[in-house]
Chains A and B, each alone.
Chain A
Amino acid sequence: MTRRILFFLLLVFAALGRDAVAGPDCSRPLTLALHEHGLLYSADTDSGIDKDFADELIRRSGCKIKVSVMPRSRIWQLIESGALDFSLSGITNAERERFAAFAWYFSNKYYLLIRKDSGVTRLVDFERSELFQLGVIRSFRYSESANRLVDNLLASNRVSQASGLAPLYQALLLNHIQGMIIEPFDTPVLEERKIREITTLVEFNDPTVAHGLIMSKKALPPAEQKKWRALVDEMRADGSVRRIFAKYFKPDLAAAMTDFQAAP
């Protein structure tokens, strides 16, 4: 009798355990969109942090996920509508919280890349000087003070929008814009030296901002989101995320970016 009871309990625990570690629902093909953005993804080479992360995620989940490349603004639009399931390296704000869930896997600071010949070295100077034009990627959000800067300049018609990072670098080189907001992975591969010669970096005095897997709330029920979040946490925990970042950054920067306290 006791043996039978033990056997039954074993079955129950096994079932519970399997449920707890069960992967996400792969019964339908899922979609994930990348956007061209420095080291995150480059269409020219079809490689980047996001690409690696996506590959690893797909591998671990065992799901069939169709990966495509599109502008960031289009990605947010599709995430909101539920036509797209995932994207990567997203940051949140109140508006995005309505339609997107996140699974954080790295965190970084934002910087203002300013042309040296603009004579501006501080954020306030940039905001005050009416000749300065800021280049941003449409629909991008940043850290708090960076967002404030963008909003203020937008109101005074001093922002040039772009659907990708590449034309912003070109515009900066041609002095059509005098500054742009960048993240550590925005260092362009091709023109790094040319850019570095004429620009300087100003750090926004904000805490680091967490980036993560973007999940469409419309496309994925909370239970599924939880499973995907568990998968991402697993990737962080076993050092996969850090390994990916280490491919692109120096080890200490990779560690700094991936070792952060994720919000609950």
Chain B
Amino acid sequence: MTRLRLLLLPLLILAAALSITWLVWDHERQSSRKALRSQFDFALREASSRVDQRMAAYEQMLRGVQGLFAASGKMDRHSFRDYVGSLQLDANFAGIEAIGVAEWVPAARYSAHLDAMRRLGGGAYAIRPGGPRDAFAPVIQVEPRAMGDRSPLGFDPWSDPVRRLAMEKARDSGMPAITGKTQLALDNEAQPGFVMYLPIFERGYALSSVSARRDHLVGWVFAAFRMQDLMASLYGEQLPGLKLAIYDGVDASAAALLYQSDELSDRRSPSALAANEYLVVAGHSWMLSLSTRSDFEARYGRNSEALIAVAGTGLSLLLALLAWMLVTGRARATRLAITMTRELRASEQRWGFALEGAGDGVWDWNLQTRETVNSRRLQEIVGADDHDGDSIDRWEQRIHPDDMEKYRDSMQTYLAAAPDASVSCVAEYRIRTGDGRWKWILSRGMVVERDAEGRPLRIIGTLTDIGDRKRMEEQVRQLAFHDPLTNLPNRRLLSDRLSQAMAVSQRTGRYGALMFLDLDNFKPLNDRYGHEVGDLLLIEAADRLKRCVREIDTVTRFGGDEFVVMIRELETLSAESCAEAGRIAEKIRSALSQPYFLTIRRGAAAHQIVEHQCTASIGLALFIGQEATQDDILKRADTAMYQAKVAGRDRVHLAPQSLFNGAGAASTWPHSSAFRVSAGHDRP
């Protein structure tokens, strides 16, 4: 139904446009026909007028001959010849075959007429056809004079019904009259012709009535015409593409055909125009028949109907198509929008699912208004109550101050870079969550909209919670650089820090010190109570060591019951530094020598407290700048520790300044070291 309604308007427009095309086409067709018709009518009028005028001219000419007799009152052969000679009947009057005189001879005057004619020189003169008749009208003179057998002299036209009719008509009316179609007496071949008669009356009589005219008839002057020649001599030109025929009478029969302009060609167009015009020529009816041939229409028609029809139909179809497109445009656009929206929604859902599945949040920053739109997941990650409408500035306020520089660097570097869709901005930083904690996040962003000059307008990105990863990394780092039992830095970290300390010492000129510690009396505890208890002691010892030094100093478990303590930034003078280091070493020795109460857990509730006395032998070595290598310094401290051991344990032995500086400067702080087990001091 809707589809039908959508089709209705284009169909109406098509119908209207086609109707207009039809109207224009029809109008053009009518106009064209009218123009053609008008051209044809003109040609018909022209043709009949030319024939009329020509015949009027001949009539007038014959009246001249009649006038000759009227003037002289007698039939003078010489005057007649001269007169006709002076008419100069050249090609202009090609239609006239002969001009002659026929004398009216009633039967009573037959013999007298023959005698008179023979006297005039026509010895063989006879009236043809012969035989008795009431009256005769023999031709007594013809100009130009005809020669040979076909001489018309003596021929009696009165004996021919066709000629006689015209002669009677001329006699009774006193006017010119022409015969119907006939063959001229001069012609051997059957050529259509006719004869025009004009009566000659006796001079001096009133001729107002038919009877008076009959009574005073003397004869006729006549002109014989060949139709073909007459038509050829007409003035003016016939329009091309027309077929002209002239018939004797009003019937278009072959027998009555006087003239035909175009015998061979009979190509009539389907829309041929044809008309008959009836002419009254010298009292006789002719029918002029004019019809068009196919080339008439081509020549005078406008021939633009087909063009109008094709162009109009084409335009109508285009218009209807345009209308259909306009009408259905909205529907098609809506369908397209629905499809696109559905696809977009599906795409969004896929992406949303993917992002949610990955645990990522999505942010959308407008760099012009500095407004941000955050996904629900992003808000969960940062634990913010903020909804859409948060700003970039408020976000940046939440960034950890230590990470701010890194964040700004990466952002500014990215935004300042040349527009390249394949590059994205990546930054890891800490953000303050809603409950005030810091959370590591990974932010990836990409510019999605730029102004005409390529400046970024909008940036969209994802936010990933990388807290777990960071913690993992920290653990790995811890495991790599710390002793898992005591959580003290291991040898690798010591080496690192020693390098730093040496570099600082080099810069500040202050001494640093390295103590190598070995717990005395540790192995028996292990042997008696096992490694677990030994470990407890090591843990306790590590705690005591840490408590004895500053934050900037480093306590390292070097392996087994060996520890290394590095003291930084002592004094600039060797002696003072040595004294300071010695004090710290002594403090350590003292702390470590205090009894240890170690709780051994057995099962869920039972435990045993082991008391153990343990001391430490400490080798102390000073260092400054990069004078010695790490190995040298460790070696010196180790050696000093060994010497402390040898010297009786529980003492501090200062290594000489350099391994190769001799041992004379070394000093020892001897103390006794023993351990005892406080058995039965189990704690619940």
Per-residue A-contact encoding for B267-297, CB less than 8 Å = 1, 0 else: 0000001011111100101110000000000
Contact of B48 among A135, A163, A168, A174 (CB under 8 A): A163
Asked if A162 and B249 make an inter-chain contact with CB atoms under 8 angstroms apart, the answer reads no
Per-residue B-contact encoding for A54-73, CB less than 8 Å = 1, 0 else: 00000000000000011100
- Give the chain A neighbours of B249 by CB distance below 8 A: 167, 170
Given A43-B283, A44-B283, A167-B250, are A160 and B174 also a contact pair (CB < 8 Å)?
Answer: no
Asked if A157 and B250 make an inter-chain contact with CB atoms under 8 angstroms apart, the answer reads no
Asked if A167 and B279 make an inter-chain contact with CB atoms under 8 angstroms apart, the answer reads yes
Asked if A167 and B174 make an inter-chain contact with CB atoms under 8 angstroms apart, the answer reads no
Q: Which of B243-275 contact A (CB under 8 A)?
A: 249-251, 273, 275
Interface centre among A74, A162, A174 (most CB of B within 10 A): A162
Q: What separation, in Å, do the CA atoms of A176 and B278 have in the docked complex?
A: 11
Given A43-B173, A164-B280, are A74 and B52 also a contact pair (CB < 8 Å)?
Answer: yes
Asked if A199 lies at the interface with its beta carbon under 8 angstroms from chain B, I say no
Asked if A46 lies at the interface with its beta carbon under 8 angstroms from chain B, I say yes
Asked if B250 and A171 make an inter-chain contact with CB atoms under 8 angstroms apart, the answer reads yes
- Counted as pairs of residues, one from A and one from B, with CB atoms less than 8 Å apart, the total is 77
Q: Which of B51-76 contact A (CB under 8 A)?
A: 52, 56
Smallest beta-carbon distance A179→chain B, Å: 15
Given A157-B37, A164-B285, A170-B285, are A45 and B172 also a contact pair (CB < 8 Å)?
Answer: yes
Q: What separation, in Å, do the CA atoms of A9 and B356 have in the docked complex?
A: 139
Contact of B276 among A36, A45, A164, A176 (CB under 8 A): A176
- Give the chain A neighbours of B56 by CB distance below 8 A: 70
Asked if B273 and A166 make an inter-chain contact with CB atoms under 8 angstroms apart, the answer reads no
Smallest beta-carbon distance A122→chain B, Å: 26
Asked if B210 lies at the interface with its beta carbon under 8 angstroms from chain A, I say yes
Q: What separation, in Å, do the CA atoms of A157 and B37 have in the docked complex?
A: 8
Given A46-B173, A170-B285, A171-B250, are A163 and B275 also a contact pair (CB < 8 Å)?
Answer: no
Asked if B322 lies at the interface with its beta carbon under 8 angstroms from chain A, I say no
Asked if A162 and B278 make an inter-chain contact with CB atoms under 8 angstroms apart, the answer reads yes
- Give the chain A neighbours of B275 by CB distance below 8 A: 157, 160-161
Contact of A162 among B251, B273, B280 (CB under 8 A): B280
Smallest beta-carbon distance B396→chain A, Å: 94
Q: Which residue of A lies closest to B277 (CB)?
A: A161
Asked if B172 and A176 make an inter-chain contact with CB atoms under 8 angstroms apart, the answer reads no
Given A163-B52, A171-B250, are A43 and B276 also a contact pair (CB < 8 Å)?
Answer: no
Per-residue B-contact encoding for A29-59, CB less than 8 Å = 1, 0 else: 0000000100000011110000000000000
Per-residue A-contact encoding for B549-570, CB less than 8 Å = 1, 0 else: 0000000000000000000000
Contact of B278 among A45, A46, A70, A163 (CB under 8 A): A163
Q: What separation, in Å, do the CA atoms of A53 and B250 have in the docked complex?
A: 31
- Give the chain B neighbours of A174 by CB distance below 8 A: 250-251
Asked if B12 lies at the interface with its beta carbon under 8 angstroms from chain A, I say no
Asked if A167 and B283 make an inter-chain contact with CB atoms under 8 angstroms apart, the answer reads no
Q: What separation, in Å, do the CA atoms of A70 and B49 have in the docked complex?
A: 12
Asked if B169 lies at the interface with its beta carbon under 8 angstroms from chain A, I say yes
Asked if A69 and B175 make an inter-chain contact with CB atoms under 8 angstroms apart, the answer reads yes
Q: What separation, in Å, do the CA atoms of A138 and B175 have in the docked complex?
A: 22
- Give the chain A neighbours of B52 by CB distance below 8 A: 71, 74, 163
Asked if B278 and A160 make an inter-chain contact with CB atoms under 8 angstroms apart, the answer reads yes
Q: Which of B286-310 contact A (CB under 8 A)?
A: 286-287
A residues apposed to B, CB below 8 Å: 36, 43-46, 69-71, 74, 135, 138, 155, 157, 160-164, 166-168, 170-171, 174, 176
- New A-B pairs, 5, CB < 8 Å, besides A46-B173, A46-B174: A36-B280, A45-B210, A161-B277, A167-B278, A171-B276
9 A-B interface contacts by CB (under 8 A): A43-B283, A45-B172, A45-B173, A157-B37, A161-B277, A161-B278, A163-B279, A163-B280, A167-B286
B residues apposed to A, CB below 8 Å: 34, 37, 44-45, 48, 52, 56, 169, 172-175, 210, 249-251, 273, 275-280, 283, 285-287
Q: 4 closest A-B pairs (Cβ-Cβ)?
A: A164-B280, A167-B278, A162-B278, A167-B285
